[in-house]
């Protein structure tokens, strides 16, 4: 059974990107996968200090909630990141988590497939491109990993506005295909 980790990075209640994450997770669960959801909301996540101790020890020197999330990332077969698009880029919390996941670099991580689920007020197809490229830069550092799929929900601003949006079905279908 595939182990899927779905990470919601928005800190907003009733976040549209979180709803995409939930739809993806339902699809993966319906496909028979073991799905775990993690949200960064209410987590203590500090910035990487660039000391590179993690390269030597395999763990971060900062004592916060990142270590537990990184351990879950390590053990997952696939990871889906859900983020709102802020200024045409992934949210800062997601970037902070990616930076803090440096202990995985060069290790025996399990994941191969990475997914990106995004939402934004703007509706143009190009809106998530920078966030996608940013995640692809992180993926490049992991030889066995690849970007396996993306879903974008454009034209959603207010919390919960994504209800009924076609992207929810797309996220569910992508999750089911894992």
For the beta carbon of residue 59, count every other beta carbon within 10 angstroms. Answer: 12
Give the gyration radius of the chain's Cα atoms. Answer: 15
Correct CATH for 3-176 of 3.30.365.10, 3.30.2010.10, 3.40.50.360, 3.90.105.10:
3.40.50.360
Q: What is the pLDDT along the chain (178 residues), one digit of tens a residue?
A: 999 999 999 999 999 999 999 999 999 999 999 999 999 999 999 999 999 999 889 889 999 999 999 999 999 999 999 999 999 999 999 999 999 999 999 889 999 999 999 999 999 999 999 999 999 999 999 999 999 999 999 999 999 999 999 999 999 999 999 9
* Ranges of each domain in the chain: 3-176
């Amino acid at each position: 059974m595939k182990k899927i980790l779905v990470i919601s990075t928005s800190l907003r209640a009733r976040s549209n990107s979180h709803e995409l994450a939930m739809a993806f997770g339902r699809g993966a669960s319906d496909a028979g996968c073991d799905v775990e959801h993690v949200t960064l909301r209410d987590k203590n996540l500090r910035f990487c200090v660039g000391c590179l101790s993690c390269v030597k020890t395999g763990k971060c020197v900062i004592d916060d909630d990142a270590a537990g999330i990184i351990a879950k990332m390590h053990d997952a077969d696939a990871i889906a990141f859900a983020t709102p698009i802020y200024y045409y880029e992934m949210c800062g919390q997601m970037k902070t988590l990616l930076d803090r996941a440096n202990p995985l670099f060069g290790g025996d991580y399990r994941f191969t497939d990475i997914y990106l689920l995004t939402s934004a007020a703007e509706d143009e197809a190009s809106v998530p491109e920078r966030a996608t490229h940013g995640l692809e830069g992180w993926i490049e550092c992991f030889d066995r990993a690849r970007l396996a799929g993306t879903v974008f929900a454009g034209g959603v601003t207010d919390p919960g506005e994504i209800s009924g949006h076609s992207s929810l079905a797309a996220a569910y279908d992508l999750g089911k295909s894992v």
